[in-house]
Structure 1
Amino acid sequence: MAFFNWLRQIIAPRNTPVSHRPQHLARRPAPTESHPLPHSVPSVSTPAVKPSPKPVVPAPDPVQLGPTATLVVRIVDQRDRPLQPALILTGYQFGPVHGELPVIDGYILTDIQGFTQTFLSEYGLMTLIYTKEQGQPLLTYYLDYDNGQLLKLPDFRRGILGAPYASIPPEFPNYRIFQAHGDHKGHFSRHPNQMTYFYRRDDWDTVQRVHQFMELLTDHVVYDAPAGNPYNYQFPATSIWRVFVIITLHNHDEWLNLGGDQWIPMTDVERRDGPVQPELPHHTWTPQPFDRLGVVDYVPHQAVTVFEEPYGESNGEIENGATLEIRGRIIDDQQLVWYQIGPNTYINARYTHLLPTETI
């Protein structure tokens, strides 16, 4: 037993703090003003006691999370061509993968091959596949320059961002290209582009937009287009009409547009300075009773002129599609029908459509 006690003393640490003091080293009360120490008592010097040093605790070994692992991230386009250098991500097997997806200007991420959020093996491979961003579309319109009508539906084209485009106007029967607005060449961008091609009829040499008045010296057949198809009515002699367009054909014939799709040849007409009252023989119009409902059947999005009396002065305009309350009817000497739609308001029957009557 004595041997083990000796061995224990050798192994025990030398810096074990003292657990007790000798009785003669006990701390005495500190002197105060009310209890001064008597001069007769000699002071006793207390030996200095060195503080025990703190034990040195060795640092713990780092926690081993597992074998190291490497993940290579390739960044390529759809043709497997590198867009950026590959990313090298390191960690521990079965540990999380930390990283951000690269943002490449002009490209969008469309596919990921070998996607993982965990280092599954010592070496891994992930491939990020990017596709070029699509640009905004190019819209192309094809219009008749003189009436604004579409010759075909607009074209809608798209391409990758930055790719070039070139627009070539198509051919239309009986038309020729007249004007073009917009950039017919360019690159698809983040802003939409627009191209408009205007066409004019092949046989139209010149087109003049005018504000004139013409008096018809003879009765005139009215056509749906210059040298086009005739309507089944005529405009009477001595009537005065507003002229909107004068065109000249290849054969030098001139045609007058009297509004909408109403054309007459520029023959047997005489220009007037304004819509003066033509010298018509005085006529007293007596409308026949005619109680019906109708609608204006003229040109879409346009208005038809109404008159104070048949062939009289203008009394305003009525929009196409408006409902009419017909009060009377007049049939003139040319068998043209006029409807009375107000006390002093008449409209030519060819610009109206009667609604069916209700049967009881």
Structure 2
Amino acid sequence: MAVLLVVLGLAVWSAELQKSQGATGDNTLNLYNWGDYIDPKLITKFEKETGYHVNYETFDSNEAMYTKIQQGGTSYDLAVPSEYMVEKMNKAHMLLPIDHSKLKYLNTFNPDVMNRSFDPGNKYSLPYFWGTLGIIYNDKFVKPGEIQHWDDLWKPQFKDNIMLVDSARDIMGFSLVSLGKSMNTTDAPTLQAAKAKLDSLAPNVKAVVADEIKMYMAENEAAVAVDWSGEAADMMAENSHLHYLVPSEGSNLWFDNLVIPKTAKHFKAIYAFLNFINKPENAAQNAEYVGYTTPSAKAQALLPKSVREDKQFYPNEAIIKRSEVYKDLDPSVVGLYNDLFLEFKMHRN
């Protein structure tokens, strides 16, 4: 009896270990996504409709996701990297091509978000959400028209009143745009000039923060913030005095994408999920929950009029054309961005 109990215990332990490693059988989908980036009700709905069980794990940066998939400890079936990371993963031969013949809703995607430079023909990725980098301002403290351009952030009236999201590419990026340069600049002297301009912004910067920026702005702790469009939507839902804009001189146009890592195992579940999540009514539900811009034109049509016609979050073609998609830069250049940004953060302290 004791031996039997030990054997049963080992069997249970083995099953739990397999579950934690994403290997629970053919009825499983191992999904690796950003935190709070899908409506949990949709996961439940998918499981009930298809019989597949979703093992859902989260990451907090593209780099962390890349490293874990590269190490190969877990056989993820789907992951959600940003555009430059799709390019990097593809260069490293970490992705499998997507079989378009198995996709039911490929023709529902907005043409503006398809066939982008990081994955021509969407051979390895499908857009999940997309958006922009921009400026959030509080009309309690900022007059109409007082902020329209990146350079307006340097106005002395915003002393100690601006919050910046903690992201080297984005903060260095808007400084580059303010100098008339590309957000994908690799030239060291130009990057140094962008950092020097950021140093001159330091008196206006109240804090450089991550997710807590949403709470601070919702609670009127600062007049202005620089953050992504989806984060802005969350803030604005909590505070009607907040507004979002993309400066006319351009910004970052970003895409988060569904990809199939080479270690994937559950292909029936993968295509079942891709078709489920891109079904227009499901995609619309997901967009309402997450607050980011859906790539599905048919899903957009199902959203409330106030959402689907909001040019802040569903920008027109002119804004899209003026904005840049991040490229996968050489690691040495990425290191320079990170080092200069760290120096800026230390400088302001």
**TM-score calculated relative to the size of structure 2:** 0.20
Q: Which has the higher contact order (CA 8 A, sep 6+)?
A: 2
**TM-score calculated relative to the size of structure 1:** 0.20
Task: Work out which of the two has the higher radius of gyration on C-alpha atoms and give 1 or 2.
Answer: 1
- From the two aligned structures, give the one with the greater strand fraction: 1
